[in-house]
């Protein structure tokens, strides 16, 4: 080989070394592995209530190398995911299907056969096309959102399927409105896009005849998105909020050539997350599943690695702890909260609920008082119950409408099933655009 050809390879080698070094520096050391037990405990449920829950948990457990420790649990999860596909068929969103493919495809197990026998990648290509067609028809609004379009590209890229890199380069320009939800840059979305674009740029570099223009524009997108993600870093090290920090960490692990060491103190971020875990902050399966891999230096780009699913740095592997039984606390006292539904007009009510209640309990109580004004519907999603309609007014992705949750005028970072209400709270559901 001529020296001119060796140079790019050397560059590639260096690029692939930097992220892994960063991961190791930031990994939770073996000494404090017990601090991760609450996450594992939360992730293992007798029954999962949404399509994506079991896939998210399976992907997470496989990435951190549980595979060889607790095979029965992994096998049961994989069975659930495969059953979902067989039951729901094509009635899945593009991102749901992409996530399922990542979960089944991780670790090169016999589940790979299922992906190919069921033609899941071909179906994903079609669903991705349908997202693009919807954008053409509805003013640039996809069927779902850019978080899912990123999952789609990531899965198609990791499994070497066809997609137009020119389309990807156009689609994921940092100024696209779909990176913003409710006027705010969505760190989760930007981070998932960085993972997808990094996969695409790495595979472009491997091709003999690189599409230089696409590659350059994709690399520029990554650079801008990384900047936007870092600008959402808070004083305590969280990036965006607690629930987007895991995705942001993954994005920063794979893109370390785009920022300098002084721009991100990974240990600070990790320590804040560990202290939040000890206070029970990641107490739903989705939250636990998404934060765990980056705490062990793993990213979704590891899914198709040759030797994935083994625990890094020669440490002893993690395993799932035997379930601890929690005794529910008895709370007889009552609290009073103010609740409003805001459309063009405000409809308010004061309700009394037992202390320890969540937002959803307040909505149910209000609905009991007046089933016309406070009528609502929910759907069980990965993160819990999602409010789909209030007073018969239904959220719609084509119009970018949704029911936003607020307390004291501030948007909540949790859903109605998780947010614990306090005496005197001023709760709102607001008909909004994102
Ligand atoms: C896109 C998105 C939205 C969109 C969803 C509509 C759309 N066009 O897709 C909009 C902007 C409407 C939205 C709204 C909200 N969201 Co949101 N959303 C996301 C995001 C970025 C991607 C979701 C996704 O597609 N996942 C991938 C697919 C494959 O999984 P899925 O289960 O099929 O996805 C569906 C659900 O996630 C659902 N969904 C979206 N947000 C939320 C929030 C809750 C609590 C529930 C139960 C469901 C839900 O919409 C998805 C599409 O149908 C996630 C980030 C993440 N890490 O998941 C945040 C995220 C899930 N959302 C979050 C929050 C807090 C909310 C709100 C409660 C904000 C608010 N103050 O009002 C509201 C929900 C209120 C309600 N009506 O119940 C948090 C949840 C944290 C937690 N601990 O519960 C996340 C993790 C973002 C964050 N880092 O804070 N969201
Ligand atoms: C995709 O292609 C690359 C490069 O040719 C190869 O190393 C990798 O194993 C392939 N991945 C899959 C999942 O087939
Ligand atoms: C997981 O595997 C470890 C090691 O084999 C074992 O000690 C632990 O009890 C297992 N956990 C469960 C929940 O079965
Ligand atoms: C709110 O008011 C505007 C302006 O009067 C109107 O166009 C819109 O349809 C109203 N929205 C709802 C949901 O009633
Ligand atoms: C609900 O509120 C509306 C408006 O104030 C009122 O007209 C209606 O009678 C109330 N319904 C019940 C069941 O209290």
Q: 198 C-alpha vs ligand 2 centroid, how far in Å?
A: 15
Closest residue by Cα to atom 10, ligand 5, is 370
C-alpha distance from residue 406 to each of 115, 117, 340 (Å): 41, 46, 10
Domain count along the chain: 2
- The closest-lying atom of ligand 4 relative to the alpha carbon of residue 344 is 1
Tell me how far the alpha carbon of residue 370 lies from the centroid of ligand 5, in angstroms: 6
CATH at 106:
1.50.10.20
Q: Could you tell me if 100 and 245 lie in one domain?
A: yes
CB atoms within 10 A of CB 5: 9
Residue whose CA is closest, atom 5 of ligand 5?
373
Same domain for 176 and 249, yes or no, is: yes
Same domain, yes or no, for 352 and 234?
Answer: no
Residue whose CA lies nearest to ligand 3 atom number 5: 69
- The rounded distance, in Å, linking the Cα atoms of 371 and 227 is 47
Are residue 259 and residue 210 in the same domain, yes or no? yes
Residue 318 in domain:
no
Instruction: Flag whether 241 is marked binding.
Output: yes
Q: Are residues 281 and 371 in the same domain?
A: no
Q: Which ligand lies nearest to the CA atom of residue 44 in the structure?
A: 3
| Phi, psi torsion values for 15, nearest 5 degrees | -55, -40
- What is the whole-number distance in angstroms between the Cα of residue 369 and the centre of ligand 5? 9
Residue 9 within a domain? no
Q: Which range marks the domain in which residue 256 is found?
A: 20-302
Pair (80, 162) in one structural domain? yes
Atom of ligand 1 nearest to the CA of 406: 71
The tens place of each residue's pLDDT in the chain, 434 residues long, gives 333 344 444 444 444 445 556 676 788 887 788 899 999 999 998 888 888 999 999 999 999 988 777 889 999 999 999 999 999 888 999 999 999 999 999 989 999 999 999 999 999 999 999 999 999 999 999 999 999 999 999 999 999 998 999 999 999 999 999 999 999 999 999 999 999 999 999 999 998 776 899 999 999 999 999 999 999 999 999 999 999 999 999 999 999 999 999 999 999 999 999 999 999 999 999 999 999 999 999 999 999 987 657 665 555 678 888 876 666 666 679 999 999 999 999 999 999 999 999 999 999 999 999 999 999 999 999 999 999 999 999 999 999 999 999 999 999 999 999 999 999 999 999 999 99
Nearest CA to ligand 2 atom 14: 159
- Is residue 358 situated within a structural domain? yes
Q: What's the 404 CA to ligand 5 centre distance in angstroms?
A: 24
Protein residues with CB under 6 Å of any ligand 3 atom: 69-70, 319-320, 322
């Amino acid at each position: 080989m001529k020296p001119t050809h060796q140079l790019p390879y050397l560059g590639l080698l260096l690029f692939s070394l930097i992220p892994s070094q960063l991961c190791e520096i930031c990994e939770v050391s073996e000494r404090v592995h017990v601090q991760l037990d609450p996450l594992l405990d939360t992730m293992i449920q007798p029954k999962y209530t949404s399509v994506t829950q079991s896939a998210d948990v399976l992907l997470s457990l496989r990435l951190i190398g549980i595979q060889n420790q607790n095979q029965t649990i992994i096998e049961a999860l994989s069975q659930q995911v495969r059953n979902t596909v067989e039951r729901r068929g094509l009635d899945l969103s593009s991102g749901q299907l992409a996530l399922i493919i990542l979960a089944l495809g991780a670790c090169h197990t016999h589940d790979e056969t299922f992906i190919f026998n069921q033609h899941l990648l071909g179906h994903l290509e079609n669903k991705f096309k349908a997202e693009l067609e919807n954008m053409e028809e509805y003013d640039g609004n996809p069927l779902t959102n850019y978080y899912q379009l990123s999952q789609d590209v990531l899965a198609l890229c990791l499994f070497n399927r066809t997609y137009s890199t020119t389309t990807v380069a156009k689609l994921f320009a940092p100024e696209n409105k779909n990176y913003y939800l409710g006027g705010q840059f969505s760190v989760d979305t930007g981070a998932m896009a960085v993972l997808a674009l990094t996969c695409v740029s790495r595979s472009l570099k491997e091709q003999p005849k690189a599409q230089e223009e696409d590659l350059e524009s994709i690399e520029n997108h990554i650079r801008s998105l990384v900047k936007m993600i870092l600008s959402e870093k808070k004083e305590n090290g969280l990036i965006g909020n607690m629930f987007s920090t895991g995705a942001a960490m993954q994005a920063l692990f794979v893109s370390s050539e785009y920022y300098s060491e002084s721009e991100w103190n990974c240990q600070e971020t990790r320590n804040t997350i560990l202290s939040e875990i000890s206070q029970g902050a990641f107490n739903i399966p989705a939250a636990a599943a998404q934060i765990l891999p980056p705490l062990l230096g793993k990213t979704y780009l590891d899914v198709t690695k040759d030797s994935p699913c083994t625990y890094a740095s020669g440490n002893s592997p993690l395993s799932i702890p035997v379930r601890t039984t929690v005794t529910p606390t008895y709370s007889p006292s009552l609290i009073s909260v103010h609740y409003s539904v805001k459309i063009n007009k405000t409809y308010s009510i004061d309700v009394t609920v037992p202390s320890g209640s969540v937002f959803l309990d307040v909505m149910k109580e209000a609905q009991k008082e007046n089933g016309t004004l406070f009528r609502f519907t929910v759907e069980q999603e990965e993160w819990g119950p999602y409010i789909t309609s209030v007073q018969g007014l239904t959220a719609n992705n084509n119009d970018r409408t949704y029911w936003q949750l607020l307390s004291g005028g501030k948007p909540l970072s949790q859903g109605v099933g998780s947010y614990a209400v306090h005496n005197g709270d001023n709760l709102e559901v607001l008909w909004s655009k994102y």
